[in-house]
Protein backbone atom coordinates (compact mmCIF):
# COMPACT_ATOMS: atom_id res chain seq x y z
CA UNK A 1 0.00 0.00 0.00
CA UNK A 2 1.16 3.52 -0.76
CA UNK A 3 1.34 6.12 2.01
CA UNK A 4 2.05 9.84 1.83
CA UNK A 5 2.97 11.88 4.86
CA UNK A 6 4.92 14.85 6.08
CA UNK A 7 7.98 13.58 7.94
CA UNK A 8 10.00 16.21 9.76
CA UNK A 9 8.95 18.90 7.32
CA UNK A 10 9.38 16.95 4.09
CA UNK A 11 6.88 15.11 1.96
CA UNK A 12 7.44 11.34 1.93
CA UNK A 13 5.75 8.79 -0.30
CA UNK A 14 6.46 5.12 0.22
CA UNK A 15 5.08 1.69 -0.34
CA UNK A 16 4.58 -0.28 2.89
CA UNK A 17 3.12 -3.61 3.86
CA UNK A 18 -0.20 -3.30 5.70
CA UNK A 19 1.40 -4.66 8.89
CA UNK A 20 4.40 -2.28 8.91
CA UNK A 21 4.77 -0.50 12.22
CA UNK A 22 5.37 3.23 12.19
CA UNK A 23 8.54 2.53 14.20
CA UNK A 24 10.00 0.37 11.43
CA UNK A 25 8.90 2.76 8.70
CA UNK A 26 10.57 5.71 10.46
CA UNK A 27 13.82 3.84 11.00
CA UNK A 28 13.78 2.83 7.33
CA UNK A 29 13.52 6.55 6.57
CA UNK A 30 16.69 7.22 8.58
CA UNK A 31 15.04 8.39 11.79
CA UNK A 32 17.28 6.47 14.18
CA UNK A 33 16.28 8.46 17.24
CA UNK A 34 13.14 6.31 17.27
CA UNK A 35 14.20 3.36 19.41
CA UNK A 36 12.86 -0.16 19.67
CA UNK A 37 12.67 -0.70 23.41
CA UNK A 38 10.10 -3.01 24.92
CA UNK A 39 7.83 -3.67 21.91
CA UNK A 40 4.90 -3.72 24.33
CA UNK A 41 4.01 0.01 24.39
CA UNK A 42 5.42 0.42 27.88
CA UNK A 43 8.78 2.19 27.66
CA UNK A 44 8.33 5.34 25.56
CA UNK A 45 11.60 4.89 23.64
CA UNK A 46 9.71 4.93 20.34
CA UNK A 47 7.72 8.12 21.03
CA UNK A 48 7.09 10.42 18.07
CA UNK A 49 4.65 13.24 17.43
CA UNK A 50 1.75 12.38 15.14
CA UNK A 51 -0.05 15.57 14.20
CA UNK A 52 1.63 17.18 17.20
CA UNK A 53 0.55 14.58 19.76
CA UNK A 54 2.89 12.01 21.30
CA UNK A 55 2.30 8.41 20.22
CA UNK A 56 4.18 5.17 20.67
CA UNK A 57 5.30 4.28 17.17
CA UNK A 58 5.67 0.60 18.11
CA UNK A 59 1.90 0.39 18.44
CA UNK A 60 0.83 2.45 15.41
CA UNK A 61 0.70 1.07 11.89
CA UNK A 62 2.55 3.13 9.31
CA UNK A 63 -0.66 3.21 7.26
CA UNK A 64 -2.25 5.26 10.07
CA UNK A 65 0.23 8.05 9.31
CA UNK A 66 -1.03 8.40 5.73
CA UNK A 67 -1.91 12.03 5.09
CA UNK A 68 -0.59 13.13 8.47
CA UNK A 69 2.44 14.87 9.96
CA UNK A 70 5.06 12.89 11.86
CA UNK A 71 7.89 14.47 13.82
CA UNK A 72 10.81 12.60 15.31
CA UNK A 73 13.67 14.01 17.32
CA UNK A 74 15.54 14.55 14.03
CA UNK A 75 12.88 17.09 13.08
CA UNK A 76 12.65 18.66 16.53
CA UNK A 77 16.32 19.51 17.05
CA UNK A 78 15.86 23.28 17.16
CA UNK A 79 13.08 23.02 19.71
CA UNK A 80 14.97 20.42 21.75
CA UNK A 81 18.30 22.21 21.90
CA UNK A 82 16.81 24.82 24.22
CA UNK A 83 16.46 22.37 27.11
CA UNK A 84 18.47 19.19 26.50
CA UNK A 85 21.62 20.69 28.00
CA UNK A 86 19.72 21.25 31.24
CA UNK A 87 18.86 17.54 31.33
CA UNK A 88 22.47 16.60 30.53
CA UNK A 89 23.75 18.94 33.26
CA UNK A 90 21.78 16.83 35.75
CA UNK A 91 23.43 13.60 34.56
CA UNK A 92 20.06 12.33 33.39
CA UNK A 93 21.29 11.15 30.00
CA UNK A 94 23.52 8.37 31.30
CA UNK A 95 23.23 5.79 28.52
CA UNK A 96 21.07 7.98 26.29
CA UNK A 97 18.74 5.23 25.09
CA UNK A 98 15.59 6.72 26.60
CA UNK A 99 16.49 10.35 25.87
CA UNK A 100 14.77 10.73 22.49
CA UNK A 101 11.44 9.59 23.95
CA UNK A 102 11.85 11.86 26.97
CA UNK A 103 12.77 14.82 24.78
CA UNK A 104 9.87 14.31 22.35
CA UNK A 105 7.42 13.96 25.24
CA UNK A 106 8.86 17.02 26.97
CA UNK A 107 8.39 19.05 23.79
CA UNK A 108 4.77 17.88 23.62
CA UNK A 109 4.28 18.75 27.30
CA UNK A 110 5.74 22.24 26.94
CA UNK A 111 3.67 22.93 23.84
CA UNK A 112 0.54 21.96 25.75
CA UNK A 113 1.54 23.47 29.09
CA UNK A 114 4.42 25.99 28.98
CA UNK A 115 4.63 26.25 32.78
CA UNK A 116 3.89 22.82 34.29
CA UNK A 117 4.22 21.95 37.95
CA UNK A 118 6.60 19.19 39.00
CA UNK A 119 3.65 16.84 39.41
CA UNK A 120 2.36 17.67 35.93
CA UNK A 121 5.82 16.93 34.51
CA UNK A 122 5.96 13.60 36.36
CA UNK A 123 2.47 12.66 35.17
CA UNK A 124 3.13 13.58 31.54
CA UNK A 125 6.43 11.70 31.41
CA UNK A 126 5.26 8.67 33.39
CA UNK A 127 5.25 6.43 30.30
CA UNK A 128 8.96 6.90 29.67
CA UNK A 129 11.08 4.26 31.32
CA UNK A 130 14.72 4.85 32.15
CA UNK A 131 16.87 2.04 33.45
CA UNK A 132 19.79 4.28 34.45
CA UNK A 133 18.32 7.10 36.50
CA UNK A 134 15.74 7.67 39.15
CA UNK A 135 13.88 10.18 36.94
CA UNK A 136 14.75 12.99 39.32
CA UNK A 137 17.57 14.15 37.04
CA UNK A 138 15.17 14.59 34.15
CA UNK A 139 12.75 16.46 36.41
CA UNK A 140 15.53 18.69 37.77
CA UNK A 141 16.73 19.42 34.23
CA UNK A 142 13.28 20.35 32.97
CA UNK A 143 12.65 22.45 36.09
CA UNK A 144 16.01 24.24 35.66
CA UNK A 145 15.12 25.00 32.04
CA UNK A 146 11.71 26.34 33.01
CA UNK A 147 13.24 28.45 35.78
CA UNK A 148 15.84 29.85 33.36
CA UNK A 149 13.06 30.93 30.99
CA UNK A 150 11.53 32.89 33.86
CA UNK A 151 14.91 34.44 34.65
CA UNK A 152 15.27 32.32 37.77
CA UNK A 153 18.08 30.19 39.04
CA UNK A 154 19.37 27.72 36.41
16-72 residue pLDDT tens: 999 999 999 999 999 999 999 887 888 889 999 999 999 999 999 999 999 999 999
Domain that holds residue 141: 77-149
- Specify if 154 maps to a domain: no
Q: Tell me how crowded residue 30 is: count the other CB atoms within 10 A of its CB.
A: 11
Strand 69-71 relative to strand 47-50: parallel, antiparallel, unpaired?
Answer: antiparallel
The domain boundary residue, chosen from 75, 105, 127: 75
CATH of residue 91's domain is: 1.10.150.120
Q: For the whole prediction, is pTM greater than 0.85?
A: yes
Q: Confidence class of residue 138 from pLDDT cuts 50, 70 and 90?
A: confident
Nearest C-alpha neighbor of 61 from the set 26, 32, 100, 11? 26
Amino acid sequence: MEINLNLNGRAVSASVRPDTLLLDFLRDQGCYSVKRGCETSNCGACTVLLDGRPVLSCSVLAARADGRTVQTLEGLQREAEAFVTYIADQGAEQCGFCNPGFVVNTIALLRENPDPTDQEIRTFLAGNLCRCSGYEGQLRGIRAYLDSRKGGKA
